[in-house]
A and B are shown apart, each in its own frame.
Chain A
Amino acid sequence: MAELRTEEFMVNMGPHHPSTHGVCRLILTMDGEKVVAIEPVIGYLHRAIEKICENRTYPQCSPLMDRFEYVTAMATEHVYALAVEKLAGLEVPDRAEYLRVIMVELNRIASHLIFWGVTAMDVGAYTPFLYGLREREDIMDLFEITCGQRLTYNYIRIGGVSKDIPPEFVPKCRAFIKKMWSKFSDYEGLLNENPIFLVRMKGIGVLKPEMAIAYGASGPVLRASGVKYDVRRNDAYSVYDKFDFEIPTQPNGDCYGRFIQRLDEMKESLKIVEQALDNLPEGDIKCKVKPKLKPPEGEVYSRIESARGEMGAYIRSDGTTKPTRVKLRGSSYNHLMLVPEIGTDCLIADLVAIFATLDIIMPEVDR
């Protein structure tokens, strides 16, 4: 009898695939069910935001930032505004900083809710998706009464924020926080101890801390590998040094850890929003910014902690009204580099779980 022989074959996953969260393409070399090699192909959403910014004035760039990372658009506006303010030496009023923190943290919760729902959907549970987006709608309502938009806000501007919050915002927000606290038991009860879910998640896609640092992983992915590093604490920007919050970490660095990590982070964000509402100072919401803003010659790299990890903006000014260079750093860029590293030698179904728990979204990669 002839000896049994196996042959490797290629599977093309994407760019149109429901579990690649956008338009990422993975070329997989398979040995049966097992993935032998992965080659990510990106660029299907490369819209040249950085090139466009070079031909826009500083305030005109800010709406483009929403499109760079639309799931946490507030954070992108924040990092851009911080960078230009550093360059131009603007002093932002306290009330504006508090409002920014409230919005960014609410946006972080909204993003993690999407993550929670979509990850569960990718491994086969549909209900969390409906639950997650139900609570997210409440946050969208809060944004809508503040700035009129649901997704691309253009709320955080250079020098402050565009509008003050309406009087009904604070009671509505408090009601949301109260509701959200009561939902966690639902969320945790639904999946955290579900045996099928545990088999799909525990011990899958283990990311060692040294490897995470070498690849530039950040945010929840890095913390789920046990590294206690958070830009909000380690390089405190805005008014984050005035809040009392924990930085949760997970010991194992597997898919399950990354999943739980984001549930924990939502609670910390709620704590920050609560404190910010309690201590919200009165005063201006914007400092004086000339319409033709000309920051002096210089360059700056500013970074913040967005929902996915470290988000950075490198801005180079030559003293005119338009930036010479705007380079945006998205954490998904580095996380996608990790996929070939931790996804090799696992099953194709596990690859879906790994991709989902890294929480990669493509506009951040392609820009």
Chain B
Amino acid sequence: MTRDELKEHILKKYDGLLTPLETGVFDLMFEVKPANLTNVARMLRDDEQLKFDFLNNIAGVDTGEQFEVVYSLSSISNNLRLDFKLVLPYDEAVVDSVKDIWTAADWHEREIWELYGIDVNNHDNLKRFLLPDDWDQGYPMRKDWDAPDFVRMPEL
């Protein structure tokens, strides 16, 4: 299946659930509504023609205006690649866990919970992870984060 065929297939079969975006430079990029996440994820994995069984990466992003969570998927058996993302306003920073669908999501979700403060529903293991156990300085990957001993590099 080529890139265009994949796009066509998704648009035909998942109309309204996945909205194509033009920002993905090389691979396909779609937007998914946060409420539909688990639904879409399960369908992408179980669809015989797609079979996205391999979760490459989950990246949390703070754009300065909103949070985004980007999921990168690939299919081992059909050799396909696809990305989709959720857009979350600052005051509704909650995602559903996809740990049941791809086990690999476990730690990635813990990481966005810890570093961005994005809450993850239905995740049973949200504990301190990368930061020290006694960390109390908030969510360091947010753009507006600051701390007394945090030294920014001076502009050259």
Residues of A bordering B, CB below 8 Å:
42-43, 46, 48, 50-51, 55-56, 86-87, 213-216, 227, 229, 234-235, 297-303, 310, 312, 314, 316, 318, 324-325, 327, 329, 333-334, 337, 366
B79 touches A43 (CB 8 A): no
Q: Which residues of A contact B2 (CB under 8 A)?
A: none
Offer 25 A-B interface pairs, CB within 8 angstroms, sorted by A. A43-B130, A46-B131, A48-B140, A51-B141, A56-B153, A213-B76, A216-B103, A229-B76, A298-B23, A298-B24, A299-B25, A300-B24, A300-B25, A300-B26, A301-B27, A301-B83, A302-B26, A312-B57, A314-B59, A324-B63, A325-B61, A325-B62, A327-B59, A327-B61, A366-B130
B140 touches A337 (CB 8 A): no
A86 touches which one: B26, B63, B106, B141 (CB < 8 A)?
A: B26
A43 and B102 CA atoms in complex are apart in Å by 23
B70 touches A299 (CB 8 A): yes
Q: Which residues of B contact A297 (CB under 8 A)?
A: 23
- Within the complex, the shortest CB–CB distance from B67 to chain A, in Å, comes to 11
- Within the complex, the shortest CB–CB distance from A172 to chain B, in Å, comes to 36
Which 7 A-B residue pairs are closest in the complex by CB-CB distance?
Answer: A216-B104, A327-B59, A43-B130, A46-B130, A329-B57, A314-B59, A214-B103
A312 and B72 CA atoms in complex are apart in Å by 10
Nearest A residue (CB) for B155: A55
Q: Which residues of A contact B152 (CB under 8 A)?
A: 55
B130 touches A314 (CB 8 A): no
Q: Which residues of B contact A329 (CB under 8 A)?
A: 56-57, 72
Q: Which residues of B contact A86 (CB under 8 A)?
A: 25-26
A299 touches B29 (CB 8 A): yes
At the interface, is chain B mostly helix, strand, loop or mixed?
loop
B61 touches A214 (CB 8 A): no
A337 touches which one: B72, B106, B141 (CB < 8 A)?
A: B106
In this complex, how many residues of chain B approach chain A with their Cβ under 8 Å: the count is 38
Instruction: Check: B42 CB closer than 8 A to any chain A CB.
Output: no
Q: Which residues of B contact A299 (CB under 8 A)?
A: 23-25, 29, 70
A366 and B152 CA atoms in complex are apart in Å by 21
B57 touches A314 (CB 8 A): yes
B63 touches A318 (CB 8 A): yes
Q: Which residues of A contact B27 (CB under 8 A)?
A: 300-301
12 extra A-B contacts, CB within 8 A, seeds A300-B24, A329-B72, A334-B104:
A48-B140, A50-B141, A213-B53, A215-B104, A216-B103, A299-B70, A300-B26, A301-B57, A301-B72, A327-B59, A329-B57, A366-B130
Q: Which residues of A contact B72 (CB under 8 A)?
A: 301, 312, 314, 329
- Within the complex, the shortest CB–CB distance from A245 to chain B, in Å, comes to 18
Nearest A residue (CB) for B45: A214
Instruction: Check: B126 CB closer than 8 A to any chain A CB.
Output: no
A118 and B39 CA atoms in complex are apart in Å by 44
A235 touches which one: B53, B61, B79, B131 (CB < 8 A)?
A: B79
Nearest B residue (CB) for A313: B57
B53 touches which one: A214, A300, A310, A318 (CB < 8 A)?
A: A214
- Within the complex, the shortest CB–CB distance from B64 to chain A, in Å, comes to 8
User: Which of B1-58 touch A at CB < 8 Å?
Assistant: 23-27, 29, 53-57
Q: Which residues of A contact B29 (CB under 8 A)?
A: 299
Q: Which residues of A contact B76 (CB under 8 A)?
A: 213, 227, 229
A214 and B104 CA atoms in complex are apart in Å by 6
Instruction: Check: B129 CB closer than 8 A to any chain A CB.
Output: yes
- Within the complex, the shortest CB–CB distance from A202 to chain B, in Å, comes to 26
- Within the complex, the shortest CB–CB distance from B5 to chain A, in Å, comes to 16
A316 touches B140 (CB 8 A): no
